[in-house]
């Protein structure tokens, strides 16, 4: 019990395998022992991550723009949370080649959630922009907003 204030719950459970976490907590409380605030923070952080989180959805989430992300923490393109855009992950896994800089993976049928390899192709960023914006016309008001934004950004 002298280690109670110095180690996390997972370490405590491995040290005293015959007692549950709750049993250890109750015994320490009766003896007047309390956890250090830093250790409590670690315990709460470990308890609410990934599979233990209340809103866990199996390692799949969606971006605000509707793209599907999957949990692959070891991937080179993984964000701080360990998530990668699924269409990029699928394309790289199937072809065995990482997406080069200046290129992007395009959905042929336009459905951002359809990440089958048959629906994906590699395009340069410029060609992708031209593909999606061919035939679009901006109103004079929109053109003026774009001009102002560019000028402000250039300053």
pLDDT tens string, the chain, 155 residues long: the values are 566 666 676 777 777 778 776 777 777 777 777 666 776 776 666 666 777 777 788 899 999 999 999 999 999 999 988 999 999 999 999 999 999 999 999 999 999 999 999 999 999 999 998 888 887 788 889 889 988 988 887 77
Alpha carbons 4 and 59: distance in angstroms, whole number: 33
Residue with tokens 């590699």: 122
CB 88 within 8 A of CB 105: yes
CA distances from 72 to 6, 27, 28, 90, 120 (A): 32, 40, 39, 11, 20
Domain locations in the chain?
9-47, 60-134
pTM for this prediction:
0.60
């Amino acid at each position: 019990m002298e280690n109670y204030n110095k180690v996390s719950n997972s370490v405590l459970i491995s040290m005293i395998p015959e007692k549950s976490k709750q049993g250890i907590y109750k015994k320490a409380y009766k003896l007047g022992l309390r956890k250090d605030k830093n250790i409590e923070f670690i315990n709460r952080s470990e308890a609410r991550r990934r599979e233990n989180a209340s809103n866990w959805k199996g390692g799949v989430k969606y971006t605000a723009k509707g793209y599907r992300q999957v949990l692959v923490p070891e991937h080179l393109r993984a964000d701080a949370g360990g998530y990668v855009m699924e269409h990029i992950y699928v394309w790289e896994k199937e072809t065995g080649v990482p997406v080069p800089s200046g290129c992007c993976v395009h959905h042929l049928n336009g459905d951002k959630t359809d990440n089958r390899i048959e629906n994906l192709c590699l395009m340069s960023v410029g060609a992708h922009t031209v593909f999606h914006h061919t035939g679009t016309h901006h109103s004079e008001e929109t053109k003026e907003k774009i001009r102002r934004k560019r000028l402000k950004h250039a300053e």
